[in-house]
Amino acid sequence: MEAAIHLNAMGHSTDPVCWMQTGFASGFATTFAGQPIITREVECAGRGDAACVLHAKPKPEWDQLDDLELAATPLVLSETWHDAGQTVIGISAAFLSAKTMIERTAASNATLLLMGETGVGKEVLAKLAHRLSTREAEPFIALNCAAIPEGLIESELFGVAKGAYTGAVAARPGRFELANGGTLFLDEISTLSPLAQSKILRAVQEGEFERVGDTRTIKVDVRLIAASNVELNEAVREGTFRADLFYRISTLPVRVPPLRQRREDIPVLLEHFRLRYALRHGRTVSGFTPRAINALLAYDFPGNVRELERMVERAVLLADDGRAIDVRHLFLETDGLELKPAMCMTNDGRISAVDNVGSRANLVRQMLDLIVDEGGSLLEMEGLVIREALDASGGNVARAARTLGFTRRQLALRLEKMEIQESA
């Protein structure tokens, strides 16, 4: 097909033209073999050979590889993704633009504000920002503000002097002090009390604060990365979040879209977590069944990446050794679950959207477009549909008629007509 498209658009080539086919074969073989396999097209219909012929060999067995082949050598996933905890996974435009923003501003000390639903991977991105910064060797300290009771949040953030309150038996540093020289990641920042907010503003602006119950001022050098799963400007409008703090921390706002808005990332994440948990739990799970992948592509993931990760870990544990993960390993309670065909994987591995509401109507329309483009006649189509229905019914005319909404007699008449036309 690739050669045909090339011939049609560009005419004969002097070189083989089927790059996609070659790349796909290389990636496929590499994944199976667990080592880099390079495929080369040695004969190609696109340059006038009778057919396209691909040769595949492990990379070391090729005598000479050209620059393109070297550059396009497939990655062996299980090797390159060993440092899974460090890897930021995503290929969608929405995800990559968030990642690019983080990479571009990694060298700056400006506060980063990550906005997105719970579970989209804000902490992973915060760690990436830290890793890429000049502070890499210094501490990365994270705190989920929503997880700390309001009465304790200030001592958690800024530390506490001995005897500051009942139970403060020893002086203790807070997260700002622990993060000195490095990065402090504050998740769910919108949940902070007004007092904590004003202290944070000062700590970020002046780099100084006091421990709770202490009068001595402590100076720190901390890059703040804040995250929120609610719209902070709305919180400002409602008066629950300080406007000055909002402006101070929203210099570099990065929106991390929910997983259902970047479904292209689902297959990559599936593979990533499958390898991670197979390794961690000492299991061999060969992959996912097409049914499982289609179900996952259609699922909305209210819990985002975190939910997907949990599902895959559980499925890795439940699946039979050496076999693929199926729907039943992923969705335990399938009752409440609607598996709508929101997305489907096409034969060439691309993901295409199917309109939920009119997916059947859409399919029919696409089919019709194809038929009209190919110049098919109505009678011919009718014949094809009837033959298909007869095949499906095992030659039973009455049952085929029911499928097509005909009476047995109507269908028999049409069959007769088809036979006459064919013999003519």
**Burial class of residue 74, CB neighbours in 10 A (0-12, 13-18, 19+):** buried
Q: Are 52 and 21 in contact (CB under 8 A)?
A: yes
Build a one-symbol-per-residue string for 51-80: x at contacts with Zn ion by CB under 5 A, - elsewhere. -x----------------------------
DSSP β-bridge partners for residue 353:
343
Query: Applying CB under 5 A, which of residues 25, 37, 38, 44 lies at the interface with Zn ion?
Result: 44
Residues in binding contact with Zn ion, number by CB under 5 A = 5
By CB under 5 A, tell whether 184 contacts Zn ion: no
3-state secondary structure of 227: strand
Residue number, 19 or 32, with CB nearest to Zn ion:
19
By CB under 5 A, tell whether 153 contacts Zn ion: no
| Closest separation in Å from C-beta 45 to Zn ion | 5
Identify residues 226-245 at the interface with Zn ion (CB under 5 A): none
3-state secondary structure of 295: helix
Residue number, 72 or 77, with CB nearest to Zn ion:
72
Tokens of 299: 């699922």
Cβ atoms within 10 Å of 335's Cβ, excluding its own: 6
Residue number, 40 or 131, with CB nearest to Zn ion:
40
Query: Applying CB under 5 A, which of residues 18, 120, 278, 296 lies at the interface with Zn ion?
Result: 18
Identify residues 365-384 at the interface with Zn ion (CB under 5 A): none
| Angle between the N-to-C axes of helices 265-281 and 304-318, in degrees from 0 to 180, rounded to the nearest 10 | 50
By CB under 5 A, tell whether 3 contacts Zn ion: yes
| Closest separation in Å from C-beta 13 to Zn ion | 9
Q: Are 168 and 213 in contact (CB under 8 A)?
A: yes
Residue number, 44 or 192, with CB nearest to Zn ion:
44
- The upper half-sphere exposure of residue 344, i.e. CA atoms within 13 Å in the direction of its Cβ, equals 11
Among 261, 257, 331, 336, smallest CA distance to 293 is for 331
Residue number, 25 or 327, with CB nearest to Zn ion:
25
Q: Are 301 and 258 in contact (CB under 8 A)?
A: yes
Choices 11-19, 253-261, 318-326, 404-412 (CB under 5 A): range interacting with Zn ion: 11-19
d(CA 302, CA 118): 9
| Closest separation in Å from C-beta 64 to Zn ion | 21
Residues of this chain that bind Zn ion (CB under 5 A): 3, 18, 44, 46, 52
